[in-house]
């Protein structure tokens, strides 16, 4: 039902342009349960250059990570000229929350989700909570965090590493915003001031990250980004946990969607 995708993409992009004056360059698709090649094709036709995805079968992630192929140009199988390729970043770990995005060890990464500080509404299920960053612990905490970042960097070919800071239902109050920003700002200041750590770190947007990767590709002739073709179905996040029930569930609502979309399209043609 690609026409539903086209309608929603058109409506969303038009709203952004009319209300914010922004034309998106990067797609953010962390929660669809699998990915069709139609979506990156439509995004490319809409002017986007990049796409980030998350929910891909864990074994596919494992194979791609082994050869550092988690960033790739997503090619349409019929497009031998690669005119519609889009640069795609696949998140390597189990989920998109902070415990599963800073590195391969969620028990460690959870200690850097400052929305889970003691007394907050969330906690770390691995038992060790975050600590507020102070002058006395910043060196130790920065070293622990960088160790995770470096492990994650080994799964990618670019010298840039993307570390999302978020989760469902987060960043919705000033308390968490202050806790996350102020503690990370102290970590960043320490890391950037110690050149022997060989790391430059800052807050940024998804498009800024992709721009840095594109720059790497253009300037480093030894950097080869692979090309992949096909889809990423069916999604599984662990052994025998296949997310395929939604293919056939709620048929009444799916039929209603198709009927409504057909009526809207007919009205657009007539008027």
Give catalytic residue positions: 31
Q: Are 261 and 7 in contact (CB under 8 A)?
A: yes
H or E element: which one contains 51?
Answer: strand 50-53
Q: Are 271 and 9 in contact (CB under 8 A)?
A: no
H or E element: which one contains 186?
Answer: helix 174-193
Cis ω before 118 (30° cut-off from 0) = no
CA distance 78 to 228: 12
In the chain, % helix, strand, coil (3-state, to 5) comes to 45, 10, 45
Backbone angles phi, psi at 81, to 5 degrees: -85, -5
H or E element: which one contains 262?
Answer: helix 251-270
Contacts (Cβ under 8 Å, ≥6 apart) of 142: 187, 190, 191, 197
Tokens standing for residue 75: 């090619």
CA distance 159 to 169: 31
Contacts (Cβ under 8 Å, ≥6 apart) of 201: 187, 188, 191, 192
């Amino acid at each position: 039902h690609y026409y539903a995708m086209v309608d929603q993409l058109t409506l969303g992009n038009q709203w952004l342009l009319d209300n914010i004056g922004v034309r998106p360059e990067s797609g953010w698709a962390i929660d669809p349960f699998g990915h069709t090649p139609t979506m990156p094709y439509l995004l490319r036709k809409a002017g986007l250059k990049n796409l980030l995805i998350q929910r891909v079968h864990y074994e596919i992630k494992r194979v791609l990570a082994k050869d550092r192929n988690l960033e790739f140009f997503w090619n349409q199988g019929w497009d031998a000229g690669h005119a519609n390729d889009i640069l795609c970043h696949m998140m390597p770990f189990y989920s998109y929350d902070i415990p599963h995005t800073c590195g391969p060890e969620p028990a460690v990464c959870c200690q850097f989700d400052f929305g889970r500080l003691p007394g907050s509404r969330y906690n770390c299920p691995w038992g060790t909570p975050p600590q507020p960053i102070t002058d006395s612990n910043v060196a130790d905490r920065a070293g622990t965090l960088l160790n995770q970042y470096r492990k994650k960097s080994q799964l990618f070919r670019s010298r840039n590493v993307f570390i999302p800071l978020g989760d469902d239902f987060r960043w919705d109050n000033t308390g968490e915003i202050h806790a996350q920003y102020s503690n990370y700002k102290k970590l960043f200041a320490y890391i950037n001031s110690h050149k022997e750590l060989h790391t430059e770190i800052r807050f940024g947007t998804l498009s800024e990250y992709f721009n840095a990767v594109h720059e790497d590709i253009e300037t480093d002739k030894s950097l080869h980004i692979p090309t992949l073709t096909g889809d990423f179905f069916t999604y599984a996040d662990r052994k025998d946990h296949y997310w395929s029930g939604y293919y056939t569930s709620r048929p009444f609502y799916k039929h209603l969607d198709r009927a409504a979309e057909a009526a809207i399209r007919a009205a657009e043609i007539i008027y």
